[in-house]
Amino acid sequence: MGWGNIYKRRVKVFTLAIVIYLDYKALQQREKWTKKSKRDELWEKAHERNAKRVLNLIVKLEGLWVKLGQYLSTRADVLPPAYIRLLKQLQDSLPPRPLAEVCKTIRKELGKSMEDLFLNFDNVPLATASIAQVHRATLGDGKEVVVKVQHESIKEIILEDLKNAKSIVDWIAWAEPQYDFNPMIDEWCKEAPKELDFNNEAENTRRVSRNLGCTSDSDNNNINRVDVLIPEVIMSTEKVLVLEYMDGVRLNDSESLEALGVDKQRLVEEITRAYAHQIYVDGFFNGDPHPGNFLVTKAAPHRPVLLDFGLTKGLSSSMKQALAKMFLASAEGDHVALLSSFSEMGLKLRLDIPDQVMEISNVFFRTSTPANEALQNMKSLVEQRTKNMKVVQEKMKLNEKEVKRFNPIDAFPGDIIIFSRVINLLRGLSSTMNVRIVYVDIMRPFAESVLQCNVNRGPAFNAHWIHDTPVLSNIEDKLRKLLIELGNADKVLGIQVCAYKDGEVFIDTAAGALGRYDPRPVQPDSLFPIFSTSKGITAGMVHWLVDKGKLKLEDKVENIWPEFGSNGKDQIKVHHVLNHTSGLQNALAGITRENPLLMTDWDECLNCITKMAPETEPGREQLYHYLSFGWLCGGIMEHASRKKFQEILEEAIIRPLNIDGELYIGIPPGMSLDLCQLGVESRLATLTSDMDDIKKLSEVSNRPELPSSFQNQLQDVSVMASTLPAMFNALITRRAIIPAANGHCSARALARYYAALVDQGTIPPPHSSSTKPQLGSHPHIPKFPSLKPSKNRKEPNNAHKTDKNYTRVPTDDSSLNSVANSGFGKKQENVKLFSNSKIHEAFMGVGEYENLTLPGGQFGLGFKRSYSEDGELIGFGHSGMGGSTGYCDINNRFAIAVTLNKMNMGGVTAKVMQLVCSELGIPLPADFYRFTERINDNGSNIDIPLIN
């Protein structure tokens, strides 16, 4: 390989590239003057012509270019048929090297003559590929074998070609930064030389065979066992490998497969399963699954035979878990787990585009298509990429030149290069075989098995299942033991419990995992989806505005929100909305079926609410559909205050309580591009369902007090249990403002809120500094869009006149503003969220507020009333679908919050409440009694879900 030959190889490659480029450009011009009926024929001839040019040059050059040709020959999902048909010859049908050269290498490597080694040696090779050729032979003991012999000087050619390829990639990266393939070529340069030592291939073959259970000395691995064969290794040197002979036909020999009656679908599925096992279970996989590296046994059941383990890749345990999480997050549409998997594997992005990231991931693991659909498939992918780049251009404010040079990836880990190549090769393989493979279904069990040991086995197998924070009381110690029991019974995945008594924290526990596919431990500052528990937060915000003089409970809503008064809603007052008697219990209830994405559009949902017609006149008992309450209250608040919902939340609750970063209704975008270190998304727990518990919902779907829309949803439990977590795990939903459904908070933030409410709004003392990270240590500076002024807005009589869009209402305690920014290091005295001394009566709709609620109704003014078993009104709170709860007992100055990510009917929360209340000697709310051991009169034990 002198410089002359190197120069000639480069010239030939670049010359061919220019010729093909000009050929296609000329065809594009010629196409304009050609009849439509003739255009397809022109393109087919061009593809045939250029495919022959590529094949001829690769055969001449050999080396690395054969590898490239082999890869291209498998991409029937993206390349025209002419390229596939011609380039597949490179898989095993290259011109053979002279027999004399082969024998010379064998004698030199094995140290014996051909006669001493073999009884018989076939002069004509079975196959010739890029690095070696294979001959059939018979050993002296009569054993049938194949002998793989490396081409002479191929090592020098491969290494030189790698240098050339590296130079080309460097030039492309300089000219077109968005096409920087350096991470890929760097990984290739690291792994490809390993193929040149057949001792490595021999050991790799033995290892994969053991892992897949193909040998008698395998480790009895029964996890997702696969039905494939791998030849036994007889002997090896650096350049010669002797393997057991297996009688079969090539995977790309369509005629022979048809004659044998091979089930191609089952065959490719089994190959895919074998690779899923290698990747996810073993963390050690063959990186070169092109058709030339497979045989199919002639005898039924026609099992696949895996060959050529020269290029293999080993994965660390952490990388294997990250890849499994990436796959499962993609399958589940779980943006949070997907982003955390990227961080764990070292993949960094330059901008916050989670929806595009999920889309790209879904494309990567998409179902394969037969070859005849390749053209349409490629057009769709190109169109989608164009759309995505327009989004990037707008987000980054790039001009046309800049967007062409923009690379959205900041760091690309080498470990996933070969993994990506394997997935693409498998997709090309299925297209070549003309079958459709659903990768999500086939690979899921293998990917799940990687995470099971960390997540599904519970506290009995995880000494750190409960987060290592100080035990604050003997009750907390007993509670932790209960949580361990529930975890071992598979009733808890991740949970937080925080409780206050007499203004002091006496329980603060976090345990379990963030998600089914996210084994990271729950921390005190983890954010749980709390569903309709967030109604209590929304109701508190309404009372805060009433307390500050921005609206009155007796106000007609149309006087605050003029558009609302249409379609018979002119008699609805603020207190009707709060006490669940507005007649709008099913408002927008069908939104999740008709257009799920609409619920993420806050302004449009408010607009839709204004067009709704009430089902009854105000004042009749009802329960809202779980989405309606938030939009009704939110619209009232925004129009009364002239501020956005989230800005009111910051001012009324988050800043005074100093719970920054741990309570959101609509989470903000990640604060950092390294999302799993600093961003809000890194702390999000992922919802899943307790299917055994959720199935019981169908038994209560006919409850007359439930909204009719909700009854219908409960009847199809399996759909509800699968769709709700997926819908509310999606980042687009988490980032939306849905005040009655998508609150995200830690239990300690929610408990602190209720601890303030139980003391008529007095801010509790600082949370324990022994818990790290400290509550309120995630400050952020939110940016809120200005509220569009209403053209027809009627100013309420009590509105404060000001030149500003919104007047900050003065409080009766001038220290509130300083407290909002003081942090926990400064003393907070006599600070209250509310100045109304009868705020508890307002929350529960009793005393002077009794005339504003339904007599004997379940709800006060925005809060669910809580009664003791003997019927005494003891407190208020809200429970969310799935079990998360915020509650306080007024007389006993007790407040508690429970957050869960495994949705159930409330049984877990009830057991927590029962333990804590019994230990304190205070009454258990009657709502929770139905989850105890009591049996109904009819002898059945039917739980009614905690949904309010």
CA R_g for the chain: 34
- Whether 247 is a known active-site residue: answer no
* Tokens representing residue 814 in the block: 């001038």
> Strand, coil or helix: what is 540?
helix
Quick one: which of 617, 652, 654, 620 has its CA closest to 633?
A: 652
SS3 552: coil
Residues 6+ apart with CB under 8 A from 678: 670, 671, 672
Which candidate, 441, 74, 443, 435, places its Cα nearest to that of 266?
A: 435
Element (H, E) at 66: helix 64-73
Q: What does the alpha-carbon distance between residue 215 and residue 210 come to, in Å, rounded to a whole number? A: 6
Phi/psi of residue 211, each to 5°?
-60, -40
Distance of alpha carbon 257 from its chain centroid, rounded? 39
Which DSSP letter does residue 382 get?
A: H
**Token pair of 909, please?**
């929360």
Listed residue (809, 804, 808) closest to 787, CA to CA: 804
Q: Are 668 and 680 in contact (CB under 8 A)?
A: yes
Question: Within its chain, how far is the Cα of 815 from the centroid?
Answer: 44
Angstrom distances, CA of residue 479 to CA of 289, 556, 612: 53, 47, 46
Instruction: Report d(CA 822, CA 824) in Å as an integer.
Output: 7
Residue 423, class by beta-carbon neighbours within 10 Å (0-12 exposed, 13-18 middle, 19+ buried)? buried
| Encoded amino acid at 649, one letter | L
If we measure between CA atoms, which residue out of 344, 790, 897 comes closest to residue 564? 790
What gap in Å lies between CA 324 and CA 683, rounded to an integer?
20
Cα-based distances in Å from 800 to 546, 644, 823: 13, 18, 30
- For 723, counting Cβ atoms within 10 Å of its Cβ (0-12 exposed, 13-18 middle, 19+ buried), the class is middle
Identity of the amino acid at 384: Q
Which letter does DSSP use for residue 237 in this model? -
Tell whether omega for the bond before 773 is within 30 degrees of 0, i.e. cis.
Answer: yes
Q: How far apart are CA 897 and CA 758, in angstroms?
A: 13
241 alpha-carbon distance from chain centroid: 44
User: ∠ CA 630-845-875 to the nearest 5 degrees?
Assistant: 85
- DSSP strands (E only) in 337-417: 348-349, 409-411
Closest CA to 550 of 565, 563, 560: 560
Q: Which of 809, 739, 776, 551 is nearest to 658 (CA)?
A: 776
878: three-class secondary structure by DSSP: strand
Helix (H, G, I), strand (E, B) or coil at 679: coil
Residue 130 in contact with residue 257, Cβ under 8 Å?
no
Q: Are 294 and 262 in contact (CB under 8 A)?
A: no
Q: Which residue in 161, 282, 288, 508 is the catalytic one?
A: 288
Neighbours of 53 (CB within 10 A): 15
**Cβ partners under 8 Å of residue 566, min gap 6:** 610, 611
First to last CA, the chain: 78
Q: Which residues are catalytic?
A: 288
